[in-house]
Amino acid sequence: MEPATFKIDEMVPLVDLNEPAGATVAAMVTSSTISADEVALYDRQIRLWGMEAQERMRNANVLIITMRALANEVAKNLVLAGIGSLTVLDSEDVVEDDLGAQFFVSEEHVGINRAIAAVPTIQKLNPRVRVYADAGKLHDKPTEYFNDFDIVIATELGFNDMHLINEATRKWGIRFYAAATYGLYGFVFADLIRHQFVLKRVKANKLTQCGKETRTRSVVSTTETKEGATDYEFVTKEEIYCTLSEAVASRLEKSWRPKKRHQVGSVLPGILGLWKFQQEFGRLPESTKEDYKQFTKLMIETGQALEMPQELVRADFIRQFVGNVSAELSPVAAVLGGILAQDAINVLGKMEQPIQNLLLFDGDTSEAPIIVLAPQED
3-state secondary structure labels for all residues of 91-156: CCECCHHHHCCCCCCCHHHCCCEHHHHHHHHHHHHCCCCEEEEECCCHHHCCHHHHHHCCEEEEEC
pLDDT of 44 reads 65
Residue 1 lies in a domain: no
pLDDT of residue 24: 39
Say if residue 266 is in the same domain as residue 354.
Answer: no
Asked whether 22 and 14 are in contact (CB, 8 A), the reply is no
Residue 288 domain boundaries: 244-323
Task: Report, as an integer, the average pLDDT of 227-249.
Answer: 93
Last residue of a domain, which of 209, 225, 240? 240
What pLDDT is recorded for position 43? 63
- 206/109 same-domain check: no
| 12 is a domain residue | yes
183 and 199 housed in the same domain: no
Please state the rounded mean pLDDT for residues 324-348.
Answer: 95
Asked if the model's pLDDT at residue 65 lies above 80, the reply is: yes
The yes-or-no verdict on residue 11 having pLDDT over 80 is: no
My answer on whether 176 and 66 are in the same domain is yes
For the chain, the average pLDDT equals 87
Asked whether residue 3 is domain-assigned, the answer is no
Strand 211-212, strand 217-227: pairing? antiparallel
Question: Would you say residue 329 has pLDDT above 90?
Answer: yes
**For residue 21, what pLDDT band results from cuts at 50, 70 and 90?**
very low
Residue 185 CB coordination number (10 Å): 25
Asked whether residue 259 is assigned to any structural domain, the reply reads yes
Average pLDDT of span 360-372: 94
Contact 320, 203 (CB under 8 A): no
Is residue 89 within 8 A of residue 29, CB to CB? The reply is no
Task: Let me know whether 312 and 201 are in one domain.
Answer: no
Asked if residue 377 belongs to a domain, the reply is no
Secondary structure (3-state) at 372: coil
Q: Are residues 165 and 305 in the same domain?
A: no
Among the residue ranges 14-28, 183-197, 362-376, the one predicted with the least confidence is 14-28
The domain spanning residue 94 has which CATH number?
Answer: 3.40.50.720
Q: Which of 52-61, 183-192, 363-372 has the lowest mean pLDDT?
A: 52-61
Pairing of strands 61-65, 151-155: parallel
Q: What is the arithmetic mean of pLDDT over 329-338?
A: 96
Q: Are 62 and 37 contained in the same domain?
A: yes
Q: So what's the pLDDT on residue 17?
A: 35
pLDDT of residue 239: 96
Instruction: Assign residue 5 a region (left: φ > 0; alpha: ψ between -120 and 50; beta: otherwise).
Output: beta
DSSP 17: T
| Claim to verify: residue 119 and residue 199 sit in the same structural domain | no
Q: Is the pLDDT of residue 19 over 50?
A: no
Residue 28 pLDDT grade (very low, low, confident, very high; cuts 50, 70, 90): very low
Judged against a pLDDT cut of 80, whether residue 45 lies above it is answered with: no
Contact between 175 and 128 (Cβ < 8 Å): no
Question: CA 338, CA 263: separation in Å to the nearest integer?
Answer: 24
Single out the residue of 165, 175, 225 nearest to residue 197, CA to CA. 175
For 97-104, the CB contacts below 8 A with 24+ separation are 98/68, 100/328, 100/330, 101/68, 101/69, 101/328, 101/329, 101/330, 101/333, 102/67, 102/68, 102/69, 102/72, 102/328, 103/72, 104/67, 104/72, 104/75
pLDDT digits (tens, 9 = 90+) for 277-318: 999 999 999 999 999 999 999 999 999 988 888 888 889 999
Same structural domain for residues 335 and 204?
no
pLDDT in tens, 80-123: 988 999 999 999 999 988 888 888 888 898 999 999 999 999 99
Are 58 and 40 in the same domain?
Answer: yes
Q: Return the DSSP state at 26.
A: G
Answer whether residue 2 shows pLDDT above 90. Answer: no
Share of the chain above pLDDT 70, in %: 86
Question: Regarding predicted confidence, which is higher, 335 or 350?
Answer: 335
Residue 376 lies in a domain: no
Over residues 40-57, mean pLDDT: 69
User: Residue 308: inside a domain, yes or no?
Assistant: yes
Residue 42 in this model has a pLDDT that exceeds 80:
no
Q: Which of 177-181, 185-189, 258-262, 351-355 has the lowest mean pLDDT?
A: 258-262
Into how many domains does the chain fold? 3
Residue 66 backbone phi and psi in degrees, to 5: 80, 110
177 and 260 co-located in one domain:
no
Same domain flag for 139 and 28: yes
Residue 332 has pLDDT above 80, yes or no: yes
> Can you tell me the distance from the alpha carbon of 85 to that of 174, in angstroms, rounded to the nearest whole number?
16
pLDDT at position 41 is 65
- Give the helix, strand, coil percentages of the chain, each rounded to 5: 45, 20, 35
Check whether 276 has a pLDDT greater than 60: yes
185 falls within a domain = yes
Question: What pLDDT digit, counting tens, does each position of 132-147 carry?
Answer: 999 999 999 999 999 9
pLDDT-above-90 percentage for the chain: 64
pLDDT band at 63 (very low <50, low <70, confident <90, very high): very high
